[in-house]
Amino acid sequence: MAIDHPNGNPLPPPDQDRREEVLPCGRDVGTVYDHLTRGGGLDDHELSCPHCRGAAAEFAPVLQATELLRDEPAEPPPGFVESIMARIHATRSRGWRLPLPAEHPLHLAITEHAAATVLAAAASEVAGVTVDRCHFPEHGDPTRLQINLTLRQRTPVSLIVERVRKAVRTAARRQLGLELRTIDVRVDDIHL
């Protein structure tokens, strides 16, 4: 499945820097993107790996957009695809590094983007949840996370939000050694 705009122009792929970004599991973003977009789909590793799934989830809006464009012969609203790409770029541009706990004298840091990707993957493990966006809203503050969701289940919202908070808090602690003080969950949409 190649991603094509209705007028035949392919959607912009991730730029070269982004493609070469190596996930904590050792796979690069470009490979995951290619598997996601060029038929065949994600391989066994990518399906079971939270880092790869996180990277794939990040491109999900692009894929959903193309699904929509394919099913819908009518013109999408002007600027639709551009606004999605802008959102992805905006998420990427917050490139500060979070300090992680490490034994003295070691210093360990992870990009805000990579940390958010790990946590977005954890949140999307919760049944009925699609992560629209996940980021640390306060530059330099690794204790506060904001996560935007679309829900697609009839489970009470408060219950799902609690599950998401718990999944994210646990992943932050286990995978990053990070203690989140505030997890701001925003439900953008509900698809029944």
Residues 18-47 close enough to bind Zn ion by CB under 5 A:
25, 27
64 neighbors 1 (Cβ within 8 angstroms): no
Closest to Zn ion by CB, 52 vs 129, is 52
Residues 100-129 close enough to bind Zn ion by CB under 5 A:
none
Closest to Zn ion by CB, 43 vs 132, is 43
Nearest approach, Cβ of 167 to Zn ion (angstroms)?
18
* DSSP codes of every residue in 49-92: -HHHHHHHHHHHHHHHHHHHHHH--SPPPTTHHHHHHHHHHHHH
Closest to Zn ion by CB, 22 vs 90, is 22
Closest to Zn ion by CB, 35 vs 169, is 35
Percent of the chain that is helix, strand, coil (3-state, to 5): 45, 20, 35
Q: CA angle 57-62-67, nearest 5°?
A: 110
Nearest approach, Cβ of 21 to Zn ion (angstroms)?
12
CB contact set of 59 (below 8 Å; sequence gap of 6+):
14, 33, 36, 37, 88
How many residues form the binding site for Zn ion (CB under 5 A)? 5
Alpha helices in the chain (DSSP H): 16-19, 29-37, 44-48, 50-71, 80-93, 112-124, 157-171
List 36, 52, 110, 164, residue binding Zn ion (CB under 5 A)? 52
Instruction: Name the one range near Zn ion by CB under 5 A: 34-42, 48-56, 92-100, 114-122.
Output: 48-56
Instruction: Name the one range near Zn ion by CB under 5 A: 17-25, 111-119, 133-141, 158-166.
Output: 17-25
**51 interacts with Zn ion by CB under 5 A:** yes
Closest to Zn ion by CB, 52 vs 119, is 52
Gyration radius (Cα) of the chain, Å = 17
**49 interacts with Zn ion by CB under 5 A:** yes
Residues that bind Zn ion (CB under 5 A): 25, 27, 49, 51-52
